[in-house]
Amino acid sequence: MSADFLVADEVSVRLGERFVVQDASFSLPPGRLVVLVGPNGAGKTTLLRALAGLLPAQGVVRVGGQTVATLAVHERALRFAYLPQGHAVHWPLPARDIVALGRYPHGATDPSRLGARDAEAVEQAMAVTDVAAFAGRRVTELSGGELSRVALARVMAVQAPVILADEPVASLDPRHQIDVMRLLRQAADGGTLVIVVTHDLGLAARFADTVLVLRAGRLVVAGPPAEVFAPAVLADVFRVEAYRAAHEGKPVIVPWTAS
């Protein structure tokens, strides 16, 4: 993997009559946790989906040197593991079967008949996310926190070089928020490029290597959290003033007042 494993070159997405993302350009190496932040309606989810080829876009996205738009759906699914917002499940399937869906891009179409390699990937993903204890329980019976970890285990089971997670900590209690971000941090430390959308600036400051800030569809600043979350950026983009400190070598950002 090269230093520019995922490259976005002037990526724009038009929905209806307006551009939701405009001329976004950046280059990201593997083994990093990148957090995408911005106000509501900034285009974060749209950009995330465009990176994976889930939305038509202008410009070019390359992954591992290959242009995403030229890849077959199967090939894109092997390169990007996508965790959408929310974890709504309408079928009372066992949690293990949901996790096993992560092996579908590898040809494992029947969760009950996994090959050795697929079964190992599923078991490993469940162990890492601490969901093995309720592998046989129906997902419709799980708590919100348990379901979020099952959804994350499915993403981990893909073993893709890029994880795209859209607001994975939304609606979770503080402990589960930290657990999910810690797992994504571990994935990045293991060599995966992880891109996370979140509104929680405190978690972004603590866990991210790089922060990308969107406003009105445009990338306005990118860099380490301590630099990106400067008072001027918080005031200009988010219209807040924040309490700033450091703890265990990490920046602490707590939005405090509207500016």
Model confidence over 189-198: pLDDT tens digits? Answer: 999 999 999 9
In 3-state terms the chain splits into helix, strand, coil percentages (rounded to 5) of: 40, 30, 30
Q: How distant, in Å, are the alpha carbons of 48, 92, 113, 142 from that of 52? A: 7, 29, 28, 29
| pLDDT > 90? residue 52 | yes
pLDDT value of residue 259: 85
Token readout for 166 is 């859209």
Structure confidence by residue, pLDDT tens digits, 73-104? 999 999 999 999 877 777 899 999 999 999 99
User: DSSP 3-state assignment of 259?
Assistant: coil
Q: Sorting pLDDT into bands at 50, 70 and 90, what band is 170?
A: confident
* Pairing mode of beta strands 210-215, 218-223: antiparallel
Bridge partner list, 68: none
| pLDDT > 70? residue 65 | yes
Q: Sorting pLDDT into bands at 50, 70 and 90, what band is 2?
A: very low
Structure confidence by residue, pLDDT tens digits, 130-168? 999 999 999 999 988 888 899 999 999 999 999 999 999
Token readout for 256 is 């405090």
